[in-house]
Structure 1
């Protein structure tokens, strides 16, 4: 029986296509309710290690998922309780400057992709093209050649998997091949399994502002490889991002100032969508709370929110023990730091149901207060788990211990993922993104699905304004701004991602980032007529605002967008709107 499961038609189709178990003939042999029961039982099974009753915790976990109040990342939904067992959404894998390391990591990545996970890499340690290869006396082909090799392998792996492979490639801005890296996706057919991010340092950004020359450094010798004009490189980055969404920027100095395990190593890369900067070998163990499910009569149920956060932190900590890992190194890294990434989805709907505009000072403050509340509950939950189970093994060498903090079970707690797929399952807006459109067509599994924003329908029905005529008008535009008969307040609250000034996207990301110990996945949506100079202004604003990375996407800059507004009346082609996820992955469905 599937009583009480509030799943849309699109959600059920995605579950059947990618998540529900199949027999050897390919027939689906599991219902959505049975999926949630399978996942809950598999994760709760580790509770017995800590003297707890697995059955009671399985019931609590299952109810959160059945209510669509909390969902873990896709690999957990797919693999928990199956023979695969890899439950993390993604891994950051190390690449050293040797063929053994490069091809060994490639093999590890293939195993992760096979299980439905994504991978992030720093190619910064590979010697530049043309550099000396001492063992042969020849010349190196450089990081771009190996990046293309990884892309080809990921493309091959996705043919037999349930999801498209997703990767992140980071190259530090001081690498001699940085200009070639920036232009690597100038041809939109290239590197389509990869998002690209330039590892920008504070020194580089200051050089951009001051119009100074910037030193390049050979990673093999650590010696200078010459200088470039920082402003010219920055403008090239902005030009390419204007063209395709890639590359984004990750601010490495800021990331490492927040690295609580800096004595263990320096963070050089992130997961595919940028919300989890990780040390080599570490993995993303993600799950998100559906904020829209916690709103009653326009008010956030803060007591219930605290309960959900506490249970979700426990669930994610259990995932670490319940999971299997592709290599001994990744297992050791996961257990050493026990990092989790609790995030949210449905923020835009929460704001709308409370009558608050996303692009307003009140919207920014409300979002920050909600995330700060979640952070407080998450810290207390992790401290309680540390009392029950012990802190993470690397606790003593962490900066948290050195600052005299109470022991925690997890070195990292919050991460705002893009939630592209699980927000579809939950029937809410993705991550902290604004409303995409109140009515839109989603390209999914080769078919177009018409979707109406649930919060909009709720508000309009409560106002007594819902009608088939209104739906027809919205289906022609996807926007409320020109609809006669709708109150100004409703039009203001349901302003879409492209109808607000792009700076509001950055401000929202920065406000949330202040209370998130990992990072925030957020796409800054730009209209089609935005310029590379506009992007440069946003990149500088992001750096000044304290975010850990930034991605922009200009409407219509790629032909294969996942989400589209419906065509205006009388037109032949749909008007494309940016997908609401980060990391430049506009060519494909979001990974989570």
Structure 2
């Protein structure tokens, strides 16, 4: 019987906080993202225990349709407290949810056969991706079928516009779709063989373009050989035709250098080693039956054919380590095999649930008030997805907590010993999952188009055959329930609930500091310092959950307040030492991915995190090593690189710009810095308009204004600072959810450093938006006098914003070099255009009048 009791947010949060043993972040994530809700936001579950009972009931319902069903006790024991098996977001929120009609699939790919580059086909794909995104799905599709720029077309345009305008179309559509408060997710791919691939590679380097999509290039082995050997490479269209309409040759090494440069600068494009993907793909053995892989989901871990989808689930590897963090640590392979088999069964049950969900979606579409003409596309889309899902019964069993498992075994992430152990775990997982799929084929029947002969030459299947000949023999005899079984996906928010490292990644940081304001009169409060305004602050340490487990196992007091030196000493003693995301040997990480990939039939989502100061040669080396190691794809992220996605400032040629501009003399103003430094020196500028007190924080790079934050002082949601503070630092920080904020830090008379967190959150959003506009032109080094003129020319209706303009002008005038002419402005006394800036004021060289304002 369905429970219609609802809970307040505070009730659910309180119960979840207790469930997660006081982990506030895990509790909030669960209530906000995964608790059962209706379309109005009413909450129907009090804690994850309720959710796990809901999922258990549905799994057992499906199990009871088949032979040898699992019991409710078995299933709940796997799910409880996220200990062993963790369904991904869409299954977790959608299973047993009768309040909302949504798919259980995390990943989709769409794409039309035939004349797929007609306007009708392009618009159809656009509509299909939107329809899927509104049901929570991430979508991928390939653009290799679109005609290159300049190709003849059969309409009044005469020639094709190429790929980029359609990239923008699909990107904009994605940004318009909201999924439970989050935007849609899109992957766009193109073959390197396509003559427009260079334009595709460059498309995201322009600020404001293609902001709603991830982009990846499908790279074949021939291109990689040409790029590494300095040879020419042939592009053509159609890319797979034996008789192409267009052919051209390119310098492969130069095009490869552009891919590397753009990835170094902006973290995109990602690379997909397409020959490796298709050569290893089991579904591609059935390409002629509609299972030809064409693109991937947005995170790249599931290569898919058109209109197929995949549901995901993770196994918590840490939970299989007995006696963790001791010299007696061992991995329980027997329990692991048993649970992998059960996980594969649950995944197959979820395929049945998804087919039921698709029926509900199609019934809802039928009932919708729109005409059949309007809703026909969506209905037909789900018909195609249901057909493909039922034919292949594709699943995505993956893992999380790889980093914690390695540490718990006393190994160091990134070493050869740790990689060898991980490979053995993933080999065991693959064999157990495939054994389970074969056993289900005996009980439930093989997937509809299974044909052992088609798969006989597949490298992945032959690895299975070599590792377990009996398994292969049974598979040939009975078939397999699922066309493909395995993946390794990112497990960002779900790993917060397992309280472990995410996916295959190492720990991000084992220990970090946070600060909070406290009431000094409260009991059990330690006041670290009191600032000039009398506010008391406490600094506290946040430990990675499994780092605390290591401390407990080794008899280290977890309640003691440690100094930074003591914390550093603790980390150095732990298995997390030199094993964080920024510490690991990047080449070893790539080789580890390639070695594990051999036991994952889909793909692996992994990012190589690099510090800001690495050069492009390292990115090149990592990408080439990924290809050689057998990776199916690779993404690098250089710290701060995302903020470097800007339109390049044209460098003027000697002798001046032929368009009429003049060449600036050397060092007339600082150079453009596209990537914002993490820390900037800051001036605090105070001013008063009428009775209002204002403050501006001006971030300085080489003494020159680079950004500005400004707003009211002493406002309830504004800034309160000691009057003596005139300088400090603005620090760009990364929040736990990956977003950014800007903190102001200053040192008071006692030498304590005080931080005002989140300048962007302290002011009226309207001020913040205009401050971003002004900061943008400051970063591109528009002369200060021109910036002031720009600010003054803003036509704003709001009285308060116009007052704000005056404050910004006054703050910036401080940085104008004396003697700078105010071109275009006339003296209000004598009427002559003879005004210059001196000490922040306008002085008329003709009559001597002075005006500050």
TM-score using structure 2 length: 0.62
Q: Secondary structure at the match of 1:307?
A: helix
Kindly indicate whether the alpha-carbon contact (under 8 Å) linking 1:91 and 1:120 is maintained by their aligned counterparts in 2. yes
Which residues of 2 match residues 22-101 of structure 1 at below 5 A?
22-23=37-38, 25-31=40-46, 32-51=48-67, 57-68=71-82, 69-82=84-97, 83-95=100-112, 96-101=116-121
Q: Which residue of structure 1 aligns with residue 353 of structure 2?
A: 322
Number of positions where the alignment pairs a residue of Structure 1 with one of Structure 2: 559
Q: More relative contact order in 1 or in 2 (CA 8 Å, sep 6+)?
A: 1
- Cα distance 1:349–1:356, how it changes in 2: closer, same or farther (>3 A)? same
* Cα drift, residue 9 of structure 1: 1.9
Please tell me whether residue 301 in structure 1 is matched to residue 344 in structure 2.
Answer: no
Q: Secondary structure at the match of 1:138?
A: coil
* Cα drift, residue 23 of structure 1: 4.5
- Cα distance 1:171–1:493, how it changes in 2: closer, same or farther (>3 A)? same
1:106-129 alpha-carbon deviations (Å, 9 max, x no partner): 222222211211011111111112
Kindly indicate whether the alpha-carbon contact (under 8 Å) linking 2:102 and 2:136 is maintained by their aligned counterparts in 1. no
Q: Secondary structure at the match of 1:13?
A: helix
Kindly indicate whether the alpha-carbon contact (under 8 Å) linking 2:237 and 2:246 is maintained by their aligned counterparts in 1. yes
* Cα drift, residue 434 of structure 1: 0.8
Q: Which residue of structure 2 aligns with residue 269 of structure 1?
A: 295
1:250-301 alpha-carbon deviations (Å, 9 max, x no partner): 0111111112233532322111111111111111221110111222212222
**2:589 pairs with one of 505, 509, 516:** 505
Tell me how far apart the structure 2 counterparts of residues 66 and 172 of structure 1 sit (CA, whole Å). 44
* Cα-Cα RMSD: 2.9
Tell me how far apart the structure 1 counterparts of residues 285 and 434 of structure 2 sit (CA, whole Å). 22
**1:217 pairs with one of 236, 239, 251:** 236
Tell me how far apart the structure 2 counterparts of residues 350 and 465 of structure 1 sit (CA, whole Å). 20
Tell me how far apart the structure 2 counterparts of residues 308 and 4 of structure 1 sit (CA, whole Å). 27
Tell me how far apart the structure 1 counterparts of residues 268 and 730 of structure 2 sit (CA, whole Å). 29
Structure 1 unmatched ranges of 5 or more: 443-448, 475-481, 561-565, 581-592
* Cα drift, residue 63 of structure 1: 2.8
Q: Secondary structure at the match of 1:381?
A: helix
Kindly indicate whether the alpha-carbon contact (under 8 Å) linking 1:505 and 1:525 is maintained by their aligned counterparts in 2. no
1:334-370 alpha-carbon deviations (Å, 9 max, x no partner): 1111111111100100111111000211111111011
* Cα drift, residue 579 of structure 1: 9.0
Tell me how far apart the structure 1 counterparts of residues 737 and 217 of structure 2 sit (CA, whole Å). 21
Which residues of 2 match residues 513-524 of structure 1 at below 5 A?
513-524=597-608
**1:546 pairs with one of 605, 612, 630:** 630
**2:167 pairs with one of 125, 129, 147:** 147
Deviates more, 1:26-35 or 1:449-458: 449-458
Deviates more, 1:11-20 or 1:351-360: 11-20
Q: Which residue of structure 2 aligns with residue 445 of structure 1?
A: none
Kindly indicate whether the alpha-carbon contact (under 8 Å) linking 1:291 and 1:350 is maintained by their aligned counterparts in 2. yes
Q: Secondary structure at the match of 2:36?
A: coil
Tell me how far apart the structure 1 counterparts of residues 41 and 513 of structure 2 sit (CA, whole Å). 29
* Cα drift, residue 4 of structure 1: 8.6
Tell me how far apart the structure 1 counterparts of residues 212 and 563 of structure 2 sit (CA, whole Å). 37
Tell me how far apart the structure 1 counterparts of residues 72 and 102 of structure 2 sit (CA, whole Å). 17
* Cα drift, residue 227 of structure 1: 1.3
**1:133 pairs with one of 137, 145, 153:** 153
**2:495 pairs with one of 411, 423, 427:** 423
Which residues of 2 match residues 370-519 of structure 1 at below 5 A?
370-396=425-451, 399-400=454-455, 405=473, 406=475, 407-440=479-512, 452-467=543-558, 473=564, 483-486=567-570, 488-490=572-574, 493=577, 495-519=579-603
* Cα drift, residue 65 of structure 1: 2.0
Deviates more, 1:215-224 or 1:373-382: 215-224
Tell me how far apart the structure 1 counterparts of residues 497 and 446 of structure 2 sit (CA, whole Å). 34
Tell me how far apart the structure 2 counterparts of residues 490 and 338 of structure 1 sit (CA, whole Å). 43
Please tell me whether residue 184 in structure 1 is matched to residue 184 in structure 2.
Answer: no
Kindly indicate whether the alpha-carbon contact (under 8 Å) linking 1:238 and 1:532 is maintained by their aligned counterparts in 2. yes
Q: Secondary structure at the match of 2:640?
A: coil
Q: Secondary structure at the match of 1:499?
A: coil
Structure 2 unmatched ranges of 5 or more: 1-14, 325-329, 359-380, 463-471, 515-539, 645-677, 680-727, 739-853
Q: Which residue of structure 2 aligns with residue 21 of structure 1?
A: 36
Q: Which residue of structure 2 aligns with residue 446 of structure 1?
A: none
Tell me how far apart the structure 2 counterparts of residues 155 and 458 of structure 1 sit (CA, whole Å). 42
Q: Which residue of structure 2 aligns with residue 363 of structure 1?
A: 418
Kindly indicate whether the alpha-carbon contact (under 8 Å) linking 2:510 and 2:576 is maintained by their aligned counterparts in 1. no
Q: Secondary structure at the match of 1:498?
A: coil
Q: Secondary structure at the match of 1:264?
A: helix
TM-score using structure 1 length: 0.87
Q: Secondary structure at the match of 1:206?
A: helix
Kindly indicate whether the alpha-carbon contact (under 8 Å) linking 2:67 and 2:443 is maintained by their aligned counterparts in 1. no
* Cα drift, residue 490 of structure 1: 1.5
1:174-225 alpha-carbon deviations (Å, 9 max, x no partner): 1111111111111354323311110000000000011111111122872333
- Cα distance 1:43–1:164, how it changes in 2: closer, same or farther (>3 A)? farther
Q: Secondary structure at the match of 2:487?
A: coil
Kindly indicate whether the alpha-carbon contact (under 8 Å) linking 1:197 and 1:250 is maintained by their aligned counterparts in 2. yes
Kindly indicate whether the alpha-carbon contact (under 8 Å) linking 2:266 and 2:641 is maintained by their aligned counterparts in 1. yes
Q: Which residue of structure 1 aligns with residue 616 of structure 2?
A: 532
Tell me how far apart the structure 1 counterparts of residues 151 and 225 of structure 2 sit (CA, whole Å). 29
- Cα distance 1:180–1:24, how it changes in 2: closer, same or farther (>3 A)? closer
- Cα distance 1:489–1:510, how it changes in 2: closer, same or farther (>3 A)? farther
Tell me how far apart the structure 1 counterparts of residues 232 and 736 of structure 2 sit (CA, whole Å). 35
Tell me how far apart the structure 1 counterparts of residues 280 and 234 of structure 2 sit (CA, whole Å). 25
Kindly indicate whether the alpha-carbon contact (under 8 Å) linking 2:146 and 2:162 is maintained by their aligned counterparts in 1. yes
Please tell me whether residue 312 in structure 1 is matched to residue 343 in structure 2.
Answer: yes
1:360-404 alpha-carbon deviations (Å, 9 max, x no partner): 111111110111111111111111001001111120276336787
Q: Secondary structure at the match of 2:238?
A: coil
**2:264 pairs with one of 231, 238, 242:** 242
Kindly indicate whether the alpha-carbon contact (under 8 Å) linking 1:71 and 1:422 is maintained by their aligned counterparts in 2. yes
- Cα distance 1:67–1:484, how it changes in 2: closer, same or farther (>3 A)? closer
Deviates more, 1:89-98 or 1:463-472: 463-472
- Cα distance 1:24–1:118, how it changes in 2: closer, same or farther (>3 A)? closer
* Cα drift, residue 491 of structure 1: 6.0
Tell me how far apart the structure 2 counterparts of residues 401 and 484 of structure 1 sit (CA, whole Å). 54
* Cα drift, residue 465 of structure 1: 3.2
Deviates more, 1:177-186 or 1:215-224: 215-224
**1:285 pairs with one of 298, 311, 317:** 311
Kindly indicate whether the alpha-carbon contact (under 8 Å) linking 2:410 and 2:575 is maintained by their aligned counterparts in 1. no
Q: Which residue of structure 2 aligns with residue 479 of structure 1?
A: none
- Cα distance 1:190–1:36, how it changes in 2: closer, same or farther (>3 A)? farther
* Cα drift, residue 104 of structure 1: 2.0
Kindly indicate whether the alpha-carbon contact (under 8 Å) linking 2:548 and 2:558 is maintained by their aligned counterparts in 1. no
* Cα drift, residue 575 of structure 1: 5.8
Deviates more, 1:289-298 or 1:201-210: 289-298
- Cα distance 1:146–1:40, how it changes in 2: closer, same or farther (>3 A)? farther
Q: Secondary structure at the match of 1:395?
A: coil
Q: Which residue of structure 1 aligns with residue 639 of structure 2?
A: 555
Please tell me whether residue 352 in structure 1 is matched to residue 424 in structure 2.
Answer: no
* Cα drift, residue 16 of structure 1: 1.7
Q: Secondary structure at the match of 1:67?
A: helix
Q: Secondary structure at the match of 2:413?
A: coil
Tell me how far apart the structure 1 counterparts of residues 558 and 157 of structure 2 sit (CA, whole Å). 75
